[in-house]
Amino acid sequence: MEILILLIIVAAIFYALYVGLIHKQNAAKESFSGIDVQLKKRHDLIPNVLTIAQKFMDHEKSLLTEITALRTKAESPIDPTNDDSLKQKFAAEAQLDSKMKSLFVAVENYPTLKSDTVMVQAQQTYNEVEEHISAARRFYNSAVTELNNAVKVFPGSIVAGMLAIKEMPYFEATEADRKEVNAADILK
């Protein structure tokens, strides 16, 4: 009788850990889709910005072409449970973001474009989207922290191993983002 009660308690603990891990994994996937939603908004905004820019920026055609290509690459669907796919996705989005920042810096050299009302509005909207992306990344990292803690800490780690539930990667700043900004490089 005591053995039966003990088995029931162990089964209940196992079930609770199992449910907890599945919830946390789903929360992390949901948070990733939250980033995706914001990234989609950015992707949708980029063609508008490029259309306005190419009317004025005759000498930046290569940059505009590069951004279009990066956008197409970043839009490719991925499997959010695959670590390598996630890292590639983050890297592609980081490259796209970097090129868009270069574009906005280049806009400063075209006074007519810089003061164009539509362009100003587009830049403000783009900045707003970036802030939403930042918020979505914070949520993603928060959800991944909860999942990774549950996967690594005993006894959840045993259940996670049995169910093949792995840690997910954090969204981290790139090396370029971590480097100190050299004003001389920008102002030359």
Stretch that binds other proteins, among 9-17, 32-40, 73-81, 99-107 (CB under 8 A): 32-40
HSE, side-chain direction, 13 A CA sphere, residue 55: 11
Stretch that binds other proteins, among 52-60, 84-92, 99-107, 125-133 (CB under 8 A): 125-133
Rg (CA), the chain: 23
138 binds other proteins per the rule CB under 8 A:
yes
118 binds other proteins per the rule CB under 8 A:
no
Closer by beta carbon to other proteins, 102 or else 141: 141
Stretch that binds other proteins, among 1-9, 54-62, 136-144, 154-162 (CB under 8 A): 136-144
* Sign of the alpha-carbon torsion through 36, 37, 39, 43: positive
148 binds other proteins per the rule CB under 8 A:
no
- Answer whether 73's CB lies under 8 Å from 92's CB: yes
Closer by beta carbon to other proteins, 60 or else 168: 168
Distance, in Å, from the CA atom of 45 to the CA atom of 116, rounded to the nearest integer, reads 17
Among the listed residues 44, 75, 83, 128, the single contact to other proteins using CB under 8 A: 128
DSSP string of 118-133?
HHHHHHHHHHHHHHHH
Closer by beta carbon to other proteins, 19 or else 69: 19
83 binds other proteins per the rule CB under 8 A:
no
Alpha-carbon distances, residue 34 vs 10, 16, 19, 29, 120 (angstroms):
36, 27, 22, 9, 27
Give how far the C-alpha of residue 38 lies from the chain's centroid of Cα atoms, to the nearest Å: 9
Among the listed residues 53, 107, 136, 147, the single contact to other proteins using CB under 8 A: 136
- Answer whether 95's CB lies under 8 Å from 66's CB: no
129 binds other proteins per the rule CB under 8 A:
yes
Binding footprint of other proteins on the chain (CB under 8 A): 31, 34, 37-38, 41, 121, 124-125, 127-129, 131-132, 134-136, 138-139, 142
